[in-house]
Chain A
Amino acid sequence: MSHTALQRTIVRLLFDPAFVARLAADPEAALAGAGLEPRERRWLAEADPRAFGVDGYRRTRTLRALLEEHAATAALVCADAGAVRALERFFSDDAFHAAIAERRSLAGAFGAWLLGLARTPEARAVGRLEALVARVRRGTPRPWPEGAALRVPPTVGSEALPAGAVAAWQAVVTPLRQAEDGPVAALLAPSRAPARARVDERETVCVLAVATGGDVALSDVSEPLHDLLRIVGDGAPEADALAHLAAEGLDAVEAAELVSELVGDGLLERRP
């Protein structure tokens, strides 16, 4: 609906002064692809650009909320507080604009964007882990795909990560969380100690994340089970799951029993 596209474009303008500047310089070019009608483009072009910047703390406030869930990755990516503050450039990135335009989670978009800044194996591993935790914590329900009989609940997820990823994350995030004013204040402290962690990319471990009431529990999971969860994903025919288990050496009865067991444990769910 067009008014929805217009509202989302306004949100993008409220966060991004560079977008406001492009709008002022060349409205048609700035708004190309936004899905707006000519009169809606005109309304934005005629708006007082200063009105988009009235809330001078909007980006800072939102960045702080995003950092709460990606603190360890930010600590590994950013050498100092200045680099953390500079993450506000996310709000001028295509990743931010796409998330708003498509009504997606900003945390998910920020996590993926931050991961793109990771230059070390540790930052990449921790970034993937924090993105997984953020995703299952939300547990955003998704529609069942046609033909699917099984799916991994949105509050469950797994990732194959370099060995030591969970320990690396804990090593970085624990001191941040123990800081008196919380992890974001610790990240922005002028004298923050460099984050240190180690992962071993030669070895892979599969990590299972399960969210319950806002808390996310992490545990190791076998590679075959991780593969099964990946195959079932957002939804698949039960035959796909059984075929995978057969390839892993289970007979039909064992495979069916395992699927039922996983459903009972909440790691899979059947279509109602």
Chain B
Amino acid sequence: MTFLTRAQALPMLGIGVSTEYGAGASRGALDVHALRAARPDVAGFLELGVEVDKGLDDDARRWVAAGLPTTYHFLDVNLDEPEDLDDAWLDAVRALIAATRPAWLCGDAGLWHHGPRERGHMLLLPPVLTAEAADAMAVGIARLRAETGLEVLPENPPGQLFVGDLHLLDFYARLADRADTGLLLDAAHLGIYQQMTGHSPLTGLDGFPCDRVVEIHVAGGTPRDHDGLAWVEDDHTTDVTDATWAILEHVVPRAPNLKAVVFECERNPLDRVVPAMDGLAARLRAAGWAGVAA
């Protein structure tokens, strides 16, 4: 069965938010339970950012215990390294899946850590944008899907440096085709890539398989300068860039299998998050997406 057929069985999750271990405990952070209580229409599910070594924090456990929908966002696997999908990690992932019952797995398909998976090795880099790298990553995605029984949606990571001969969207198009998988398009990360490589926000989307997009991420970023090099920090503020909005509004009407949109805002207080999410919902409504409440 091809992905586009399998996609029909994926649940519509609507708009949600994300978290990772300890995020809710930091000062001024989003209380996901308060958001759910106040505005269930924009907190339809929680994306759990997971490192298996850390597991789930109290906020995640409470959400899961309430039987609310989740997705599982890995933060600790290099999909193009076969040795990274070791038995111990896979066992831990399967145990977490059993505990959280996510709709699917997803996560940045890049370099999460150098060397073996251990303390102090974490980083997040985009993949080398070549056909060879995409093909190696496709093998890892297909294996993880087989090992877990869940769809695995690769996400385009952020970055300030991109090397390779493929446009980022062509890389993920090839990856999706080779792995026969769906995609998580991070609109903010794509906006950063387009800026860093001198492209307009929508460059490359004409050849991109929007019908494979199951999930979209939206987040704010902060413009920075390093020795005259302009870059955008992907710091998940509520200040969404124009490029991110443009990408979202272009892709949504072309994504018939879009099931979930995450507003990544885990370190912002509720009173800043709600207006921003209202803005997101309005744009999704205007784009005609069925996952947003009328």
**A contact residues vs B (CB 8 Å cutoff):** 1-4, 6-8, 10-11, 14, 39-40, 43-44, 47-48, 50-54, 56, 58, 62, 65-66, 68, 99-100, 103-107, 138, 140-141
Contact = CB atoms under 8 A, between A and B. Distances in A.
**Interface SS of A by simple majority:** helix
B229 interface: yes
Interface in B209-266: 224, 226-229, 231
B226 A53 contact: yes
Interface stretch (B63-71, B123-131, B183-191): B123-131
Contact of A106 (B115, B136, B226, B229): B115
By CB atoms of chain A within 10 A, which of B120, B136, B165, B196 has the most?
B120
A3 B80 CA distance: 10
Nearest to A2: B132
Contact of A51 (B115, B127, B229): B229
B120 A62 contact: yes
A44 B163 contact: yes
A24 to B, nearest CB: 13
Say what secondary structure dominates the interface of chain B: loop
Given A1-B136, A51-B229, A53-B227, A11 B111 contact: yes
Given A3-B132, A48-B229, A11 B118 contact: no
B125 A11 contact: yes
Interface of B: 80-81, 86, 111, 114-116, 118-121, 123, 125, 127-128, 130, 132-133, 136, 160-161, 163-165, 196, 224, 226-229, 231
A118 B136 CA distance: 42
A47 B161 contact: yes
A7 B163 CA distance: 9
A10 B161 contact: yes
A106 B123 CA distance: 13
Nearest to B128: A3
A65 B111 contact: no
A181 B114 CA distance: 28
